[in-house]
A = this chain, B = another copy of it.
Amino acid sequence: MDNTHSFHIEDLGKPKFKSPLQLSTVRGDNIFNFVSESDKLVFDISLDQYNKCLSDGEEPQCLEKAGPRQNIFFDPKEATAAIVTCGGLCPGINNVIRGVVMGLHYFYGIKRIIGIPYGYEGLNPEIGHGFVELTPDKVKDIHQFGGTFLGSSRGGQDVGVMVDTLEANGVNMLFAIGGDGTLKGVNAIGEEIEKRGAKISVVGIPKTIDNDIDLIDESFGFETAFDVASPIIRDAHNEAAGAYNGISIVKLMGRDSGFIAASAALAMPVVNFVLIPEMDFQLEGELGFLGVLQKRLKRKKHAVIVVAEGAGQQLFQGQERIKDASGNIKHADIGLFLKEKIGSYFKDANIPVTIKYIDPSYIVRSAPANSRDSVYCSRLAYHAVHGAMAGKTKFVACKVNNKFVYIPISEVTKKRKKINLESEFWFSVLQSTGQPFLLK
């Protein structure tokens, strides 16, 4: 992130309509105030950074506050919105869909909201999925269900074709709910729109169960993910403790980042080892994972291991890799690999062990949002609506330092967020598990 300039959110032009929201512009009347473009929040809140700016005579890196603007770009009486959900399932997608529909309908009186079925495929008329009309009545109960009401798919479609579809159907605002690839895709759509001189706002709502979108506090559904994973770890502990030298291995999501594994392990403090993609670790050697595991077993007669799916890829050097439909390199299966390695290690050492392997994957992905995520999804959706109606484009609605802000899509897709191994968060995981800082 460039520390010297604040992020700039692009917009489609000067807002020309008065917001239909009956808000205030003064403090003290117990009525929420419209947010102005000058409402900004500091990104790096350490005193060091503050002093650095001070001595450099520069304004700190700032974020644009999210919320309803007094003047809006689209005419509520005529505007059409579209919603698309892409990529793998994640708790809360339906809550976001519901929130966007409710916000557009009730706050701004938008009459026509189009649901795009099955991800970006739905914007390619050749595939022929058609559209779904979205109304408050259709979406009012969907927050109680996991999954996505609209269906999803992985991978992209031709950008030109997708923009053709949006234009042909008179869409003014496109809300895309998805992860890194989806956000890059909707940004590309936004750029193509700009090139054509069209006036369509494109908004990203970051969705990644791995919580690996950069800059933002946390992505929706992530908390539910470790909330659902946590009792499964308790189960794994029951299995491990139920056998002499019982070992349970729980594989959790986390392609490049171990947030779910780490958070779930913290939430159910019966875990003895957390292995994440950010860590480099070895199996062999006295300080390697297997030796440390053996010492644990000797003391306690059971062990619980939580491993993120992307952990330990350094152990698969030289193996060929394949890509999935979204273009991500498929990881070798560290869970089954560990199960085998642990099994043969203890067999060689003539120590009887019982290993249970648990891979809850879809059980986590397709759960309904828990309460915090429900709150978060509604608010995210409302902010996405307010930003789009104001004519902003190519931005994500998100939360940073516990406040709702808008950030350009291009900023959050520069790299994936990872766990900092020197952070207080990872240290708290190690304090909870008692595992050493390094396993090599």
Interface of A toward B, CB cutoff 8 Å? 22-24, 27-33, 39-42, 45-47, 50-51, 54, 59-60, 62, 67, 89, 98, 102-103, 106-107, 117-118, 121, 129, 141, 143-148, 151-153, 217, 223, 226-227, 230, 232, 234-239, 241-244, 248, 263-264, 266-269, 356, 358-363, 365-367, 370-372, 374-375, 378-379, 382, 401-404, 421-424, 426-428, 430-432, 434, 437-438
Residues of B close to A378: CB separation below 8 A: 266, 269, 428, 431-432
Contact of A226 among B59, B371, B430, B432 (CB under 8 A): B371
Residue of B nearest to A22 (CB): B437
Knowing A370-B370, A371-B267, say if A242 contacts B359 (CB, 8 Å).
Answer: no
The distance in angstroms between the C-alpha atoms of A226 and B376, with both chains bound, is: 13
A103 touches B431 (CB 8 A): yes
Residues of B close to A121: CB separation below 8 A: 244
Residues of B close to A237: CB separation below 8 A: 147
B238 touches A89 (CB 8 A): yes
- Mostly, the A contact residues are mixed
B268 touches A374 (CB 8 A): yes
Taking the closest CB of chain B, its distance from the CB of A277, in whole angstroms, is 14
Knowing A32-B426, A62-B47, A144-B144, say if A243 contacts B152 (CB, 8 Å).
Answer: yes
Contact of A402 among B106, B242, B402, B427 (CB under 8 A): B402
Identify 17 residue pairs between A and B in the complex whose beta-carbon atoms are under 8 Å apart, listed by A's number.
Answer: A31-B437, A41-B45, A67-B424, A118-B244, A145-B238, A146-B234, A151-B242, A223-B371, A226-B371, A230-B374, A232-B363, A235-B366, A263-B375, A266-B379, A267-B371, A267-B375, A404-B424
Residues of B close to A118: CB separation below 8 A: 243-244
Residue of B nearest to A62 (CB): B47
A267 touches B372 (CB 8 A): yes
The distance in angstroms between the C-alpha atoms of A196 and B248, with both chains bound, is: 42
B372 touches A428 (CB 8 A): no
Residue of B nearest to A373 (CB): B267
The distance in angstroms between the C-alpha atoms of A80 and B272, with both chains bound, is: 27
Knowing A67-B424, A264-B371, A428-B378, say if A241 contacts B31 (CB, 8 Å).
Answer: no
Residues of B close to A67: CB separation below 8 A: 424
A152 touches B242 (CB 8 A): yes
Knowing A41-B46, A263-B375, say if A422 contacts B33 (CB, 8 Å).
Answer: yes
